[in-house]
Chain A
Amino acid sequence: SQQGEEDPQALSIQEGENATMNCSYKTSINNLQWYRQNSGRGLVHLILIRSNEREKHSGRLRVTLDTSKKSSSLLITASRAADTASYFCATDTGGGNKLTFGTGTQLKVEL
């Protein structure tokens, strides 16, 4: 099974609402990263949070990390139609130069 698993698998909201997606993982990590993928495109890095950090912000994005629960959440505030994409978490478990990606959350923001 995947090291990182996102929840929910799919999320549909109205423009202006907040979107929250979660990532759970199984083993201890050095850092956790969130990426966005628009349909048919490559992944774009959003935020990296290290294991000794609890929260990070970037514009309308807020990421939290709870290492005791082995989970992270990505909050997008005041969502826009342009935020429609798939969102992936990826973990660095320190087992070599590898990131392990989750299966993603598909976010749809409707006008």
Chain B
Amino acid sequence: DAGVTQSPTHLIKTRGQQVTLRCSPKSGHDTVSWYQQALGQGPQFIFQYYEEEERQRGNFPDRFSGHQYPNYSSELNVNALLLGDSALYLCASSPSGTGDYGYTFGSGTRLTVV
């Protein structure tokens, strides 16, 4: 049973460019959340998607946007990249639209902005 799958694993982008990160949730999960983890810090919540809509958003600018597809997979888009966007981006999924059963995380995408 595949867990949460993220792609790509690593990415190098130039400041000002745009990037798209992808996530496939664990089988049976319908809710996808995205987190940003800077080096040495805990993950910070970006937003959560449920039923193809953004349900909750953290303190991130509009440059960060997302999408959820009918098969529950999700994308995170970041426009006008800044050096400070360099981080590990983590996707988490959960079943039934709530956190009752905890969250399952993927291996992350390491984004480096130069």
Task: State yes or no: do A and B come from one complex.
Answer: no
